[in-house]
Amino acid sequence: MPNVSEARGILNSSDILFTAQEVDAAVDRMATEITEKLGDEYPLVLSVMGGAVVFTGQLLPRLIFPLDFDYVHVSRYGDKTHGGELVWKQAPKEDVQDRVVLVLDDILDEGHTMAAIRDKVLEMGAKAFYSGVFANKLISKDKPIQADFVGLDVPDRYVFGYGMDVRGAWRNLPAIHALK
């Protein structure tokens, strides 16, 4: 974790990829798409802690249909900037048996975390699995999963803000930034 001065230096030297207004418009669009697809399903929505907390907190009030809510905690990053070993800290507490499940995460990078969550949820008996990510990173290699709902496509750079951190900082930014 950087100190305050280092964290401000990271922010000040970053590029803004999407403004807060563009982020807000993307969440509105996603809410409409999710409502059209899942509005009659009474889904179980699972938020991936901790990155998806900002996105989930903004999206849920825009979903005007009944749903149940829970979370999972799976991590590959910690405070590093490159993916590491997958660690399950919390599986769903809610019963997913015969449920339509929507998993929300901040970013679909290489897709390994979301694919592992999908496999776990389906193994637990869900009747359908959907994924929604705020950011979909455009990388050159194939991913093991594609998100059903995507807020914004981001370039293959290290991005942060709106739930995504850089060395543990700046999840609280309303815009999307990228390291230079």
2-13: pLDDT as tens digits: 899 999 999 999
- What is the CATH architecture assignment of 19-159? 3-Layer(aba) Sandwich (3.40)
CA 114 to each of CA 6, 15, 104, 139, 140: distance values in angstroms, whole numbers, following the listed order: 31, 27, 9, 16, 18
Average pLDDT for 157-167: 95
Q: pLDDT band for position 88 (50/70/90)?
A: confident
The pLDDT of residue 75 is above 80: no
Judge whether residue 82 has pLDDT over 70.
Answer: no
- CA 137 – CA 107 distance, rounded (Å): 7
SS3 15: strand
Distance CA 158, CA 154 (A): 9
Residue 84: pLDDT above 70? no
The strand pairing partners of 154, in sequence order, are 137
Pairwise CA distance, residues 45 & 63, whole Å: 11
Q: Can you read off the two tokens belonging to residue 84? A: 């590491």
DSSP letter for 37, please. H
- On whether the CB atoms of residues 108 and 101 are closer than 8 A, the answer is no
* Dihedral sign from CA coordinates of 95, 96, 100, 104: positive
The DSSP output letter for 52 is T
Rg (CA), the chain: 16
Given a cut of 80, is residue 83 above it in pLDDT?
Answer: no
> What is d(CA 60, CA 67) in angstroms, rounded to the nearest whole number?
9
Predicted model pTM: 0.91
- What's residue 154's pLDDT? 98
Q: Where are the domains of the chain?
A: 19-159
Please report the pLDDT score of residue 45 as a whole number: 97
d(CA 106, CA 172): 12
Condensed to tens digits (0 to 9), the pLDDT of residues 15-74 reads 999 999 999 999 999 999 999 999 999 999 999 988 899 999 999 999 999 999 999 998
